[in-house]
Amino acid sequence: MDYDAFVPVIRSLAIEAGNKIMEIYNADDFEVKTKSDDSPVTEADEAADAIISAGLRAAFPEMMLVTEEQSESHKVKGDTFLIVDPLDGTKEFIHRRGDFTVNIALVENGVPTRGVVYAPAKGRMFYTLADGQSVEETGDMAIDTAGPVSPIRVADANNAALMVVASKSHRDAATDAYIGKYQVKDSKSAGSSLKFCLVATGEADIYPRVGRTMEWDTAAGHAVLSGAGGLVVRFDDHTPLTYGKEDFANPFFIAYAPGVELKEA
């Protein structure tokens, strides 16, 4: 993969999709349907998916593509592919809470190596540069011209006073029990893949996920966190979280800054 060519494409597609999502988000009403797994899907999910899929297939026709909203793509086999969640945090979108993101990532040999996470309602965008370093872009988010970027880096965690981020829509007793194993200074909630980005910027030290996720939910955030010096491991044995699994379902996991002294499950 030519990373110098790849990164501008995924950045532009994320913004284009984000603009369409916000157009629907700001409308008086929008359609919400239920998928076969009982999860919600909106016209914004579908419109963003169409934009991103068409753009990726045109730019990288040789690459396999997995996208949440196209079940046929879930039959992709291999450990190197593009993976997309066009609107992560659909429940946040439906309830107009703003914590939703556009996610595009490249997985190589089972590892997310490059990615973009764009939160259009919050005006925040994080992505990996060609060299793998993660940055946050500021400015007006023009599709064709990148704005100023600042390198991001995980915090030097203080294990006596950790900052924890957890799911806004899926937090439960099991999550709270695990967080209770740490000395916590403060805990915050966030939706979608923004949680990875908050660890990547040093706004949080650890994000434990004791609940179901799919690879398209996590790949872009995982790439951004890795490019900022962070780690993502399985909850059960603390081995690296890998991609290209048979059904694209993730085990429980922990995303964290390396200075955090992980507790056993």
Report the pLDDT value the prediction gives residue 168, as an integer from 0 to 100.
67
The CATH class, in words, for 3-151 is: alpha beta
Q: List the structure tokens of 54.
A: 């068409």
The fold of 162-256 is: D-Maltodextrin-Binding Protein; domain 2 (3.40.190)
pLDDT per residue, tens digit, the chain (265 aa), is 999 999 999 999 999 999 999 999 999 888 777 776 667 788 999 999 999 999 999 999 999 999 998 988 788 778 999 999 999 998 889 888 899 999 999 999 999 999 999 999 999 999 999 999 999 999 999 999 999 999 999 999 999 999 999 986 667 889 999 999 999 999 998 988 999 999 999 999 999 999 999 999 999 999 999 999 999 999 999 999 999 998 999 999 999 999 999 999 8
Q: Name the residue ranges covered by the structural domains of the chain.
A: 3-151, 162-256
CA separation for the pair 93, 231 (Å, rounded): 28
